[in-house]
Amino acid sequence: MKLDKKQIPQVIVLGVLVLICIGYVSFTVLKPPAVELKPPPPKQPDKSAPGVAVVQLAPQPIQPTAAFPDLTTPVARRDPFTVQPLPQSSSADEDKQAAARPQPQIRQALKTAAAKVPPLIPAIGSLSDFSIQPVQRDQDPDFVLTGVIRGYYGNVAIIRVGDSERHVVKQGQFINGRYQVLAVTSDGAVLACGSRRIHLK
């Protein structure tokens, strides 16, 4: 029996449905009965043995260790820069506050140390006259276009940089990792460095 290409998806879907039905039937029919785990009944102490003490423990419910907060009400915002009181006894708070208070000698040392530090930003009146120096831009190296080779896949420029370097570049390539060749035409080339354009003829 040969299947058409149109029948293959139908046969696959039919096979998946048959597997699902077989799985469902096997789980419902062959499912083991539900077993409830119950603790065994406590044994009654044998009262016939004299002098044997039997201690019987009653089960106690487990108390939750932490109470979960009520998430239905929004939490009030607090200032992160204020000291929050801790839920402790008042005597422990007084001891901590007494320990936190700096001694008079320490306070005096802190004041003198703070007085010796000069301000980071001087006062406006104390600024001396200053001159503004213009930022010098990097000088572009001497580019000389020595030739242009015209071709089917694009023009190629031969550019000499200074006296020693020669580059054969196409459009989109970089010279010295800084100057990008924007265009190569039959009569020249255009280089770009940032927002500057250098025309070579």
Whole-angstrom distance, CA of residue 160 vs CA of residue 162: 6
pLDDT at 97 over 70: no
pLDDT at 188 over 60: yes
146 vs 51, higher pLDDT = 146
Beta strands, E only, the chain = 143-149, 156-161, 165-169, 174-175, 179-185, 188-193, 196-200
pLDDT digits (tens, 9 = 90+) for 122-173: 666 555 566 677 777 777 788 999 999 998 889 999 999 988 889 999 999 9
> What does the block give as tokens for 172?
């989109």
CA 42 to chain centre: 57
Q: What is the residue whose two structure tokens read 């009654």? A: 44
Give mean pLDDT, residues 95-113: 61
Give the global pTM.
Answer: 0.34
